[in-house]
Chain A
Amino acid sequence: MDKIKEITLKIKELKNKNVKKTIPNNKINVKFYNMAMNISIELITGIGLGVFLGLFLDNYLQTKPIMFIIFFIVGTIVGFYNMFKSLKKYGYFK
């Protein structure tokens, strides 16, 4: 009998743990939506600015496609760097 009680207690504990992991209400959904939007925009703007600068310099200096490749890589690095910084602000990567 004791073993059955122990098992039921353990099942309850496990169930409680699972409940805590799920997203309980709409408020947190908005928070995560905002976080996802912020982080993805950091990445996109980095790459976008890199591509734009690369294309502009290629046109200006007639160096197609060297500047585009260089600035695309730099822009991607900047995008990931900014993503890392904003994730740090949200409390990740302490």
Chain B
Amino acid sequence: MAADKGPLHQFEISNLYEIRLENIDISFTNSALSMIISILVASVLFYLGSGKNPNIPSRLQVLVEMSYDFVANMVRDNVGNGGKIFFPFIFTLFLFILFGNILGMVPYNFTYTSHIIVTFGLAGFIFLAVTLIGIAKHGVGFLKFFVPSGVPYALLPILIPIEVISYFVRPISLSLRLFANMMAGHTMLKVFASFIVLLGFIGGWAPLLLVIILTGFEIMIAVLQAYVFTILCCLYLNDALHLHH
């Protein structure tokens, strides 16, 4: 029974189909399956909702167009000039995280964003890409990014190393934010859900109410974290393209 297992049991990776490449284990896991499910759900929703009827749009079409507009505005406002070519990537990233977070709320579905290797993979790729874009656009001038403006010269030897380290902290904080939020939320839900079973029919109503409230809260966090991850990605891109401080 799921209730006997600890609150962290839900994050366990299990092999669904074993695949080995020499000594490397590249098995198909429950995490990979939930990634495929969320990509399929997003693709089907967007295919069904893509503008077939411009005059009387269906509810799904409105939802799809609204989400497109939402991310398009986010890119326009936060990346500025030259950000348009990154829109497909940012939109895909937003949907991948959003669907991962939201479908993770479905019982028995695995939340892949609650694994730091997934979030760090995304954040590390973004960090590398943004740095390379910055270097490609500004060349050696990209190093000016580490020199804070309006600071006395005497303070620069202290501030430049701090700026450099704080730049390298970015992928860690970006990945940790999403991972910690998702993991904390799911663990909390499981802990309170186990109280329902422990307290039984008489006392279990209070934690049940709490679990219902927390589920709503967790759905809001799921959307918010997808938004935060994407907007930070946009801000980093803006920094690299325009060397803002």
B202, CB-defined interface residue at 8 Å: no
Chain A residues near B217 (CB-CB < 8 A): 26, 30
Partner of B162, one of A26, A48, A81: A81
Partner of A41, one of B166, B176, B220: B176
Partner of B165, one of A30, A41, A49: A49
Encode contact with A along B29-53: 1 for CB under 8 Å, 0 otherwise: 0000000000000000000000000
Contact B220 A30 (CB under 8 A): yes
Q: Is the interface of A mostly helix, strand, loop or mixed?
A: helix
Contact-residue size bin, chain A (C-beta under 8 Å from the other chain): 20 to 34
Encode contact with A along B137-170: 1 for CB under 8 Å, 0 otherwise: 0000000000000000000000001100110110
**Given A38-B177, A81-B162, A48 contacting B224 (CB threshold 8 A):** no
Q: Is the interface of B mostly helix, strand, loop or mixed?
A: helix
**Which of A34, A41, A44, A77 neighbours the largest number of chain B CB atoms within 10 Å of its CB?**
A41
Partner of B169, one of A30, A33, A34, A45: A45
A67, CB-defined interface residue at 8 Å: no
Contact-residue size bin, chain B (C-beta under 8 Å from the other chain): 10 to 19
B133, CB-defined interface residue at 8 Å: no
**Given A34-B224, A48-B172, A74 contacting B177 (CB threshold 8 A):** no
Chain B residues near A41 (CB-CB < 8 A): 173, 176-177, 180
Of all chain B residues, which has the CB nearest A27?
B220
Compute how far the CA of A46 lies from the CA of B172 in the bound complex, rounded to whole angstroms. Answer: 9
Contact B169 A49 (CB under 8 A): yes
Contact A82 B166 (CB under 8 A): yes
In the complex, what's the smallest C-beta–C-beta distance from B95 to chain A, in angstroms? 20
What 3 A-B pairs have minimum CB-CB distances, sorted nearest first? A45-B173, A45-B172, A78-B165
Binding site for A on B (CB under 8 A): 161-162, 165-166, 168-169, 172-173, 176-177, 180-181, 217, 220-221, 224, 228
